[in-house]
Amino acid sequence: MKFCPPLLTGLLCALVCSAPMAQTRHAQALPAPVIKALRQAQVPPQSLSVLIAPLPSAPNEAWRPRLAQHEQDAVNPASVMKLFTTYAGLQLLGSDFTWRNRIYTDGPIKDGVLQGNLIVRGSGDPKLVIERLQDLIGQIMAKGVREVRGNIVLDRSVFDLAPRKDPFDDEPLRPYNASPDGALLNFKSVIYTFTPDPASGRARVRSEPPLTGLSVPADVPLRSGPCQDWRSELKADFSQNLQTRFAGSYPASCGERAWPVAYPNPEDYAPRVFQALWLQAEGQLTGQTVYGPTPAKAKLLLEARSLPLAEVVADINKFSNNVMAQQLFLTLSSELGAPGRFEASRLRLDQWWRNQFPGLPAPVLDNGSGLSRSERSTARSLTALLQLASQGEAAPAFRNSLSIAGVDGTAARLKDRQPNAAAIGKAWLKTGSLRDVASIAGYVQGDSGRMYTLVAVLNHANAQQARPALDALLEWTVRDNGSVSAAKK
């Protein structure tokens, strides 16, 4: 047995510090309902990596895993990888950490007129959404700037990012494909909302946020019939950046629906949004809104802090927000003083991992969000992270960031699949999903009152069809009466 740091107690110490254990030693075979669900999805059992283990209830308490299979195999957990980014962020930056958005001017201000440029220096804030942008503009005007006789300059130099490659899985208009940015505004997305008006036979269309120059139809024809693939029926055309078209119709039976779409020209998004909101607030601008650096002579006008990291982490994990996760990941290196880079953040997280979990295989990270074909972890490493994250100052923020099964976030869908599931309200989870990955990881309360960590990852072409197998594992974990004593050493 190797030396264990003081915090690594009980099962966590065994996971990190002991010699590698056999793949299924001290754990029973997969439960029958799990095997049945895998068979129905035509997924072989060996495609499943799983480790279910009790949380120690006292220091130095050691427990055997309840269930273990391929727990040392490096697999792609999809968005479950966000657990590494968020917990490292909470530990390295602190739950109360905030990003600081700074506004500068490079000319005199008199009678509400700025004779020069207004510089918005982005901080990498992951959630600078419309409401907060409107508040920021209100603060600028309260400081005496209502007219800019120059340009509005957006400085995004806090991150140093290479030009974007092809979008993930060739889905450029999916909001999950929004790329990180030092001056990220509103996730670079437009939300189109369709509201039926039966009296006119039309559905009203509105879009937000406002973008300077964007033209959107005021309405589309209504049609009768069921509400099925309504997005396809609209026959949308987003190929022209500033001209959205809908050649189809909208089913009245759908009621009001919203359709988030990534803006087709993301480089153009932030300048158009900021300028539109500035003009909407009755601000005046003689120049343009452009990207650029903060001049050395510029003077600080105000500083606006972001939401605290604990709230940001909750959005990242509960709703699996990819671009927010990448913003946090890049911040791990930008906070050291140099522009944030993916490579530098990977190095910092790797060093943190080796300090916290000596001897345990480090996760392989790409962008920190799980939206990647190269990111990898073992169920054993994820379990070690969950065990450690259940204690210490960051524990409340971390657990509160997880989706409650059948109640909120991405795990709310459990109630739709299984309305009477025993796990509803008794599991705190991060879910993951790619076209060939289905995964869950988090904490589960058993019927006995015992708490467990659960990590389960499916890597297979039919992974999505096999999600009922993960639901079955979750139910099996809850139904622990009679199994607790058998798991104890």
Residue 123 confidence (pLDDT) above 90: yes
Write the pLDDT tens digit of every residue in 148-184.
Answer: 999 999 999 999 999 877 666 667 678 778 899 999 9
Just give the CATH number of 99-307. Answer: 3.50.80.20
Write the pLDDT tens digit of every residue in 280-302.
Answer: 999 999 999 999 999 999 999 99
Q: For the chain, what are the domain ranges?
A: 10-96+310-487, 99-307
**Alpha carbon of 453 to those of 182, 363, 387, 450: distances in Å?**
35, 18, 7, 10
Q: Quick one: pLDDT at residue 163?
A: 81
Q: Quick one: pLDDT at residue 488?
A: 47
Q: Please report, as a single letter, which amino acid is at residue 284.
A: Q
What token pair was written down for 319? 């709703």
The pTM assigned to this predicted structure is 0.93
Sign of the CA dihedral with 188 first, then 88, 64, and 443 last: negative
| Cα gap 82→317, rounded to integer Å | 7
Please state the φ and ψ torsions of residue 125, each to the nearest 5 degrees: -50, 120
Query: pLDDT category, 465, cuts 50, 70, 90?
Result: very high
**Alpha carbon of 422 to those of 45, 381, 472, 483: distances in Å?**
24, 27, 10, 17
> In CATH terms, are 10-96+310-487 and 99-307 the same topology?
no
What is the percentage of the chain residues whose pLDDT exceeds 70? 90
Q: 1.10.10.10, 3.40.50.300, 3.40.710.10, 3.90.1150.10: which CATH number matches 10-96+310-487?
A: 3.40.710.10
